[in-house]
Structure 1
Amino acid sequence: MIVRMCGRFDQNDIARRYVAAFGWADAAYRGQARPTCNAAPGTYRPLLHMEDGQLAVDDLYWGYRASWAAEKLPVCYNARLEKVANKYWGRLMKTGRAVVPANGWYEWTGEKGKRQPWHVHRKDREPIFMLALANFGPFKEHKAESGFVLLTADASGGMVDIHDRRPVCLNAADAALWLDPGLPMEQAEMLARSMALGPEEFEWYRVSPELNNAGNDGEHLLLPLPDET
């Protein structure tokens, strides 16, 4: 039984190294969030986006709900790629495409009370670039009015043994194209569908159940359990 899809991710490096891995020489750095091995919803995390033709790194709240939907919808942390063209997500597809760099993400298996976390990462251990939709600017009532969600898609293939969905990850060049504000929404959606890295690019192993507590952090959380082969 799966508990949650991509409810945490591993962002244990500094923003400048993620920008270097992205292939850009520099960016406008405005965030102050520290690296963490256990990034959780409801916290501020650095993401990449384009602003006035320049790559920018800003800290944004992980979670989004439109201001007008406060009494109608819950705060979302993920959004299905299959639904990004609808009215709710369409505006962010046009003006709020972003990328969340990370070293991996977590999935859970097992029943409530016995949840087992898994660390999912690229086989070559290069950073991953997860596609996101974000709303920038100040909020009035709730932090989620100015926040982001991760895009998810069908996990198809080998990853279904831990979850049937996954974050949509692109290589650096395709992720840079995703950020291009001149790329029409329809083409951006096609890019995400056609160029997403497949399960064959990833591997995963079980990690300490200490990760179940969002307040826990430290590199020891990244280590495979002793009985992993």
Structure 2
Amino acid sequence: MCGRLSQYRGIHDFVETLGMPEVWRNNVGDQALGRYNVAPTTSVAVLRVDEAGPRADLVKWGWRPHWATDRAAPINARVEKVAHGPFFRAIWPHRAITPIDGWYEWVDEGGPKKQPYYIRRRDRRPSLCASIGQFTNSEHDGFVIITANAQGGLVDVHDRRPVVFEPDLAREWIAAGMPNEHAEQMVLNLGEPSEAFEWYRVGTAVGNVRNQGAELIEQRQ
């Protein structure tokens, strides 16, 4: 997953997909987000549950522990290492869902520039991405999306993909009190297969993060 996504629907659409009818603390707003070209280090809407119940917040995409000052904050965490490596140990228990409409990858097809592709669910529902983060209402807050090896045809676009859950598993992922061992098995084994997604070429304008708008996800030949 190269690090660019879209999040253009509104929180109410994402919550409806998640299937949690509870009252949410919505710190994002009621309007459609309208973001078709979301870059790392910017704020992204995430869904999670704390001691007071479900909430939606804008959180910086990217995180690193306080001692890792010699590198940029990663935006993704590899599923093979996230549960046991020291880098993400502090935030592994703090789970969230990042609801996205789709994401972009760039493929070398022999032209002067890499060709961007847009990936989304075939059923056009939001993708509910497994995430972890620091959510303390401080300047050090941030989150990462958990990624796994690509499968099937997705390998032709990129070798990594976000771990996307069906709604029932997404609700389980953010439920309070879930054992860490069970969470690890979920991200290792229960993410959506490549058959759940479609991908197609889009225009090169997405390469400039200042460009926004629905035209960015229109299919191109």
TM-score, normalised by the number of residues in structure 1: 0.89
- List aligned pairs for 1:109-120, cutoff 5 A: 109-110=107-108, 114-120=113-119
Query: Could you say which residue in structure 2 is the equivalent of 1:157?
Result: 152
How far is 1:53 from its partner? 5.0
Query: Could you say which residue in structure 1 is the equivalent of 2:75?
Result: 77
Alignment-mate amino acid for residue 21 of structure 1: T
Mapped to 2, the partners of 1:12 and 1:105 lie a distance apart of 12
Call closer, same or farther: CA 1:151–1:112 in 2, change over 3 Å.
farther
Please point out which of 96, 99, 102 is paired with 2:97.
Answer: 99
How far is 1:63 from its partner? 0.8
Gaps of 5+ in 2: none
Query: Could you say which residue in structure 2 is the equivalent of 1:206?
Result: 201
Residue 125, structure 1, aligned to residue 120, structure 2: no
How far is 1:161 from its partner? 0.4
Call closer, same or farther: CA 1:112–1:177 in 2, change over 3 Å.
farther
Partner SS for 1:159:
helix
Residue 28, structure 1, aligned to residue 47, structure 2: no
TM-score, normalised by the number of residues in structure 2: 0.92
Mapped to 2, the partners of 1:73 and 1:170 lie a distance apart of 30
Residue 63, structure 1, aligned to residue 28, structure 2: no
Partner SS for 2:210:
coil
Query: Could you say which residue in structure 2 is the equivalent of 1:14?
Result: 10
Q: CA RMSD in A?
A: 1.7
How far is 1:126 from its partner? 1.0
- Per mean C-alpha deviation after superposition, the further-off stretch among 198-207 and 109-118 is 109-118
Superposed CA offset, 1:78-132 (max 9, x none): 11011112122122111x1111001111111127961211110111111110111
Partner SS for 2:67:
helix
Alignment-mate amino acid for residue 137 of structure 1: T
Partner SS for 2:147:
strand
Call closer, same or farther: CA 1:208–1:6 in 2, change over 3 Å.
same
Mapped to 1, the partners of 2:55 and 2:73 lie a distance apart of 25
Give the number of aligned pairs.
216
What percentage of aligned pairs have identical amino acids? 35
Mapped to 2, the partners of 1:181 and 1:214 lie a distance apart of 36
Point out 4+ residue stretches in structure 1 off by more than 4 angstroms.
none
More helix by share: 1
